[in-house]
């Protein structure tokens, strides 16, 4: 028997007429990969149809994606509303990433495979543009961003790493010249500028290349000229930190290797919410970092 006709609700009627109200969405979800159920969140800007560029924001050790979202005051999402891209916040297992540097306690799981599977799922759903997948990470997440560029360069258009460098044990043989942006503080006691060991509360957390050696390594891998060009950035805030930039010209395929040096800066996200300053050091407020890094990603589609 045919059911009686029902009046359509206003929202459905607006949709059929092509005038459905659109709004931004923040959704939490999960995906099964590598024998684990992995969690993540996605922010979608309002009024934008996919596939969109996707920015993966990778938290540090001991954190989760939602915590980094609040630590950065959701500034990437404000930019996503203006420029039209997805913001993806994946979660590491037990609040950490296996970033390839051999840190104690890291699970035997390949997080580059997890992030690749997550990216593929968003592409398959028509939400993410496969030519514009980018990753930015802090500390443990920054080490993972370097590993993504080394191991999965055909997928990730460009990466940015905050207070991190290249893990000593990472086999770095990218299949193409990968644009890489680095931001590091000279007074970072956890991931020291000139040190080769990551230490936290007196314990070793694995070994790495120094910050200058990491940038030089990427310049070599990307076929850039060996001598960087150095420039000073304006000192806009009275925070005890001065920024400068070293950039390597002439990279293959239009790639860039950029090292932003925070003289006097600590183990912190630029403009991030201050916490434990005696442990992590100074937080810089000289640069609109999210604007800077988003512009970098926009310059470098695959």
Mean pLDDT of all residues in 255-261? 98
> Each residue of 185-196: pLDDT tens digit?
999 999 999 999
pLDDT for residue 46: 85
Q: Give the whole-angstrom CA distance, residue 26 versus residue 116.
A: 21
Mean pLDDT of all residues in 246-250? 97
> Each residue of 142-179: pLDDT tens digit?
999 999 999 999 999 999 999 999 999 899 999 999 99
Alpha-helical regions (H) of the chain: 10-16, 65-71, 75-83, 111-124, 140-151, 211-221, 277-280, 289-298
Task: Output the six-digit token pair for 122.
Answer: 């968003």
- pLDDT above 60: residue 98: yes
pLDDT for residue 275: 81
CATH number for the segment(s) 22-298: 3.40.50.1820
Inter-axis angle of helices 140-151 and 111-124, nearest 10: 70
The answer for residues whose C-beta is within 8 angstroms of residue 132's C-beta and 6 or more apart is 52, 53, 54, 85, 157, 297, 301, 302
In 3D, which of 55, 125, 123, 124 has the Cα closest to residue 90? Answer: 55
pLDDT for residue 135: 98
pLDDT for residue 8: 37
pLDDT for residue 104: 60
pLDDT for residue 1: 38
Of 55-69, 202-216, 257-271, give the lowest mean pLDDT range: 202-216
pLDDT for residue 201: 76
Q: Give the whole-angstrom CA distance, residue 45 versus residue 81.
A: 5
Task: Output the six-digit token pair for 105.
Answer: 């306690």
Q: Give the whole-angstrom CA distance, residue 272 versus residue 289.
A: 10
Give 22's pLDDT tier (boundaries 50, 70, 90): low
In 3D, which of 262, 263, 282 has the Cα closest to residue 272? Answer: 282
- pLDDT above 60: residue 25: yes
Q: Give the whole-angstrom CA distance, residue 2 versus residue 41.
A: 42
Global model pTM greater than 0.85: yes
Mean pLDDT of all residues in 22-46? 93
Does residue 207 contact residue 198 with C-beta atoms inside 8 Å?
yes
In 3D, which of 22, 23, 35, 38 has the Cα closest to residue 121? Answer: 38
Alpha carbon of 133 to those of 7, 53, 96, 204: distances in Å? Answer: 43, 6, 22, 32
Q: What is the largest CA-CA distance in the chain?
A: 80
pLDDT for residue 13: 31
């Amino acid at each position: 028997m045919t059911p009686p006709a029902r009046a359509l609700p206003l929202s459905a009627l607006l949709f059929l007429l092509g005038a459905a109200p659109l709004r931004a969405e923040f959704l939490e979800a999960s995906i099964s990969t590598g024998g684990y159920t992995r969690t993540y969140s996605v922010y979608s800007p309002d009024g934008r149809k996919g596939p969109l560029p996707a920015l993966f924001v990778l938290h540090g050790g001991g954190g989760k994606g939602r915590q980094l979202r609040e630590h950065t005051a959701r500034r990437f999402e404000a930019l996503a509303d203006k420029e039209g891209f997805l913001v993806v916040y994946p979660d590491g297992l037990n609040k950490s990433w296996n970033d390839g540097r051999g840190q104690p306690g890291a699970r035997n799981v390949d997080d580059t495979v997890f992030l690749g599977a997550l990216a593929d799922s968003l592409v398959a759903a028509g939400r993410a543009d496969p030519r514009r997948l980018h990753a930015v990470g802090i500390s443990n997440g920054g080490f993972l961003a370097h590993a993504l560029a080394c191991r999965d360069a055909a997928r990730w258009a460009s990466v940015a790493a905050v207070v991190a460098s290249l893990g000593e044990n990472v086999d770095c043989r990218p299949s193409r010249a990968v644009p890489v942006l680095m931001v590091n503080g000279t007074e970072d006691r956890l991931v020291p500028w000139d040190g080769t060991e990551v230490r936290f509360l007196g314990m070793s957390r694995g070994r790495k290349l120094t910050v200058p050696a990491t940038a030089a390594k990427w310049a070599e891998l990307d076929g850039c000229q060996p001598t960087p060009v150095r420039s000073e950035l304006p000192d806009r805030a009275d925070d005890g930190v001065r920024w400068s930039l070293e950039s390597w010209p002439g990279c293959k395929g239009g790639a860039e290797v950029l090292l932003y040096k925070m003289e006097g800066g600590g183990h912190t996200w630029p403009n991030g919410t201050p916490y434990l300053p005696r442990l992590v050091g100074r937080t810089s407020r000289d640069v609109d970092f999210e604007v800077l890094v988003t512009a970098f990603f926009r310059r470098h589609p695959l």
